[in-house]
Amino acid sequence: MGKIKFIREKIHFYLSDNTNKISIGINRFINVLILLSVLDFSMQTVPTWTRFHPSLANFEYIVLVFFSIEYFLRVFSAPKPFKFIFSFFGLVDLITIIPSLLGLAYDIRTLRVLRLLRVFKNYEATKNLRKSFIDVKSELGFFSLATLFLLFIAGTGIYHFEHEAQPEAFASIFDSIWWAVATLTTVGYGDIYPITVGGKVFSTIIVFLGLGLVTVPTALIASSFTAAFAKKKEDE
């Protein structure tokens, strides 16, 4: 038991610690594999490159072996294996290897792009950004609820003004919520839009409210991130 514990601690140290050369080298190697894997998968979708698909698929299997070994080593060496498995990046690791291990359908394999998230896992900026979200989670929670509330109000309002004039475009409140999403996020696809005076006035109000809902949470996160970065500089 003592030897197994020692091996687990050593593996965990080299996979998770970013202060020694071996750990840094391992993480860089894995990041390169992630980028090559995503590039490989993208190349397999090019119709005119079918003659390369077998070679690209073989490379993917080789990368899959590395990712699978790395995942199981992380689970084996984690102080709390279940905590790692159900952590954000633990789930990302699992989701990205399961489709290939189980030989699932092609469209499921697009989940491999989630591997790109792992490239940012060990960067200090990622940790600061995560801390920034945690610091303002109550404010973000409030704005999330406010956004859902406003989406429903916007969908209901535009349905009231536009349903009779455009019964196909605004067939129901739920159909109208799609317009509300595009408007509140200031995307404005232009597939459906108000034509009545009341609808246009209502849309103008919603657009300005949407600007506030987008900019305020962004400002909160940016401010928290800046504060975390400044604190780190002071500690150094």
Percent of the chain clearing pLDDT 90 (strictly above): 2
Contact 214, 118 (CB under 8 A): no
Instruction: Please check whether residues 114 and 160 belong to one and the same domain.
Output: no
Q: 225 in a domain, yes or no? A: yes
Considering only residues 183 and 172, tell me which one the structure prediction assigns the higher pLDDT: 172
Q: Indicate whether 105 pLDDT > 50.
A: no
pLDDT in tens, 26-45: 888 888 888 888 888 788 88
Q: 127 in a domain, yes or no? A: no
Rounded Cα distance, 7 and 69, in Å: 15
pLDDT in tens, 117-148: 777 766 666 666 677 777 777 777 888 888 88
Q: CA 225, 229, 234 angle in degrees (round to 5)?
A: 145
The SS3 assignment for 106 reads: helix
Q: Indicate whether 106 pLDDT > 50.
A: no
Instruction: Please check whether residues 116 and 207 belong to one and the same domain.
Output: no
pLDDT at 213: 74
Q: Indicate whether 224 pLDDT > 50.
A: yes
Q: Both tokens of residue 136?
A: 């303002």
What is the pLDDT of the chain when averaged over all its residues? 79
Contact 202, 194 (CB under 8 A): yes
Residue 99's domain spans which residues? 2-122
Number of domains in the chain: 2
Instruction: Please check whether residues 20 and 56 belong to one and the same domain.
Output: yes
Instruction: Please check whether residues 24 and 89 belong to one and the same domain.
Output: yes
pLDDT in tens, 147-161: 888 889 888 998 989
Q: Indicate whether 212 pLDDT > 80.
A: no
Q: 110 in a domain, yes or no? A: yes
CA–CA distances in Å: residue 88 to residues 77, 101, 130: 17, 20, 12
The domain boundary residue, chosen from 66, 91, 122: 122
Q: Exposed, middle or buried, 224 (CB in 10 Å: 0-12/13-18/19+)?
A: buried
Average pLDDT value for residue range 177-203: 82
